[in-house]
Structure 1
Amino acid sequence: MTNMQEPMPASDKLPARSVDAIEELSGTHPGKRRAHARGICAKGVFTPSGQAARLTFAAHLQQTPCEAIIRFSNSAADPASRDLMSPAKGMALQFQLPDGQGARGVESVQGEKPVISAVTAPVFVARTPESFLEMMLAARDMTRRGDSIKDRLKGMLQLFPHAAEALTSISSLKPPASFASVPYYSIHAFYFVDENGRRRPVKYEWIPDAEEAHLPLIKAAVSSKDYLEDELRDRLGTSPIGFTLRLTLGEEWDPVDDCTARWPSNRETLEAGHLFIVELIEEPDGLVMDPTVTGPGIELTPDPILNFRHDAYAVSFERRQKGI
């Protein structure tokens, strides 16, 4: 296939080439994110339980509540895509820590505010940036040929067997009844670091206060393009929205460099805190929900996709700031 014949760019060119490939697949939409292009922002308060304090000295996971900005989104790169046509949904949260509690990030954009970025699928489709680019190019070629959705899925499974769990999971996702009625997963593992320098691998999951619910077929047929945003406005008009932050604690032999792999279901979990979302807000200028912005007390694992996302987000941000 064409994508297999294209040479892989040098590693420092991969972020830009990967963003190019997304544009080739879904079109260029000036001023918009190259993924999760359409979203809606809200303001909330995160209250940590203190249970994670034994694992990390991260300021936002101790005892003191802090404000947060939350962005719910579709995964589609086309902002005109209907909610129903974008199977995976996103929930990204930026903790509004006081000045001086620094974090790694795009300094001129993000400042010192840690991020948790999560989606409704528990694993990702690619292990490495190179594999991700190959998948985008393959999807582009299938789309240009006019392959059906079923044929595209079959073709991707044949070309990229490592993505079987993620592709199967995404294809089986049902449309949520609400952004507030489904769980969200961090996909990546992170290291929590305590005061003595001990590290423990951890994955995040947001568990909704609302009962998990999906859109009935009869409603899906008549739903608006952005029914999830409409529903969120209506829901917040009557009551706050809540999520519990659950941590899954990995063992030293659990994979931390492969975001296509699940951890065993019997791993220890704890509730790190609770989020109350109280009102919708306009998206702040220059908001970048970069998951590599972690803050002191949390470190990145050697997951190549996780580390790659920092540079890819920077490319996307530069292009949307320039209106291209």
Structure 2
Amino acid sequence: MKAAAGLRPRSRASFAWGRCVRGTYAPSDQAREITKSRSFTKPSRVLARFSLDGGHPAAANTNLLLRGFSFRLGGDGQRSEIFTQSVPIHFARTPEQMLAFLAARIRGPDGNPDWEKLEAFSASNPETLHQADYIAAHPLPASFASTTYWGVHAFPATNSKGETRFIKFKIMPVGEERRRAANEATAKAPDLLQGDLDSRIAARDIRFSVMALLDRPGDPVMDVTIRWPDEDRREAVRLGTIVVTGVEANDACDEAVFNPTNLAEGIGRPPDAMFAARCAAYAISQTRRR
């Protein structure tokens, strides 16, 4: 990932630019029906990070990159750290496929990609194009606060009755629908994303509904390159609401947080191969940045 993006010491290999923020979480009355996790059923403080994909930490002035929203809920040893992004699918099904995907994109000595290699890889791995196809078909709104974020993994959630089912996280902006048309007119203005985010944080004008999409029999829980059937119109439960209240120093988001394998009891680890690979990868990335 570092080689494909361009090696930059002490920066993340992906989602390099980010804004660390704080806020609050208030659970809904329905949260307990889905999970017994205290991180989702109890009010708590929130530490979160808005981010942009890519290896360049200063690349904050474009609406063309994948956006990320990671957040930590809970306390007293009952914390969950969730990463979501502005696309509901990942670009690779396994770590081996992800490695080959990145290797095909490393530029040659002339600074240009090997287009024949890229085309050959895409032809033999068509599922790796699903994410790019989704991005091309779904232009992003002009604000981090207006963006819907998805968790690409299927999490086993267990409620107080001992019932377990798979859920996917969907983070939906509250009260943003009417703003989008006006915002789109200035979607390419310089510093729009960063400036808009800072002004909304100052006004305490950012809130999201934390939704759980509910599984159905036969849903693909092992493949993060495909969506669940009819995912946009299926049943969802609102677990709670996140309200962003202020900015934190970026160092606060570089502490031992935002490892998506840290999950409070009641939310289990997804079974897919990509999630398993994150356990070591996040620790390695954090250590190298330090």
Partner of 1:119: 85
Please show how residues 166-177 of structure 1 align to structure 2 within 5 Å.
Answer: 166-177=131-142
Equivalent of residue 98 in structure 1, options 64, 75, 84? 75
Q: Which residue of 1 aligns with 2:97?
A: 131
Structure 1 residues 296, 163: closer, same or farther in 2, change over 3 A?
A: same
Name the structure 2 match of 1:71. 49
Deviates more, 1:297-306 or 1:133-142: 133-142
Q: Which amino acid aligns with 1:272?
A: L
Deviation at 1:147, TM superposition (A): 4.3
Matches within 5 A, 1:245-264: 245-264=210-229
CA drift at 1:118? 0.3
Q: 2:39 maps to which residue?
A: 60
2: CA distance, partners of 1:217 / 1:139: 33
Aligned pairs (5 A) from 1:233-312:
233-265=198-230, 266-283=233-250, 284=252, 285-312=254-281
Distance, in Å, in 1 between the alignment partners of 2:88 and 2:205 is 26
For 1:48, the equivalent position in structure 2 comes to 27
1:78-122 deviations in Å (ceiling 9; x for gaps): 213243275210000011x23243xxxxxxxxxxx3111100011
Bigger mean CA deviation after superposition, 279-288 or 175-184: 279-288
Change beyond 3 A, Cα 1:318–1:168: same
8 A Cα contact 2:205 2:244, kept in partner: yes
Query: What corresponds to 2:12 in structure 1?
Result: 33
Partner of residue 158, structure 2: 193
1:140 aligns with 2:126: no
Is the deviation greater in 311-320 or in 160-169? Answer: 160-169
1:245 maps to a residue whose letter is V
CA 1:82–1:282 in structure 2 vs 1: closer, same or farther (change >3 Å)? Answer: closer
**Letter matched to residue 178 of structure 1:** S
Identical aligned residues as a percent: 29
Q: TM-score, normalised by structure 2?
A: 0.88
Q: Please report the RMSD computed on the Cα atoms of aligned residues, expressed in angstroms.
A: 2.5
Task: Summarize the Cα distance change of 1:175–1:254 in structure 2 as closer, same or farther, 3 Å threshold.
Answer: closer
Aligned to 2:130: 165
Q: Which residue of the partner structure matches residue 10 of structure 1?
A: none
Partners of 2:89 and 2:226 within 8 A in 1: yes
Secondary structure at the counterpart of residue 114 of structure 1: strand
- Rounded to whole Å, the distance in 2 between the matches of 1:114 and 1:262 is 23
CA 1:175–1:144 in 2, change beyond 3 Å: closer, same or farther? Answer: farther
Tell me how far apart the structure 2 counterparts of residues 29 and 141 of structure 1 sit (CA, whole Å). 16
Deviation sequence 1:226-259 (CA, Å, 0-9, x none): x312111112233431100111100242111111
Structure 2 CA distance for partners of 1:137 and 1:99, relative to 1, 3 Å? same
Q: TM-score, normalised by structure 1?
A: 0.80
Gaps of 5+ in 1: 1-21, 102-112
Contact persistence 2:80–2:262 (CA under 8 A) = yes
The Cα offsets for residues 196-217 of structure 1, whole Å up to 9 and x where unpaired, read as 4331000000110122737646
SS at match of 2:32: helix
Q: Compute the displacement of 1:157 (Å).
A: 3.4
Distance in 1 (alpha carbons) for counterparts of 2:70 and 2:280 = 18
Taking structure 1 as reference, are residues 31 and 164 closer, same or farther at Cα in structure 2, changes over 3 Å only? closer
Q: What is the CA–CA distance in structure 2 between the aligned matches of 1:141 and 1:28, rounded to whole Å?
A: 12
- Structure-1 separation of matches of 2:271 and 2:109: 33
Instruction: Report how many residues are paired.
Output: 283
5+ residue gaps, structure 2, are: none
> What is the CA-CA distance between 1:60 and the residue it aligns to?
2.2
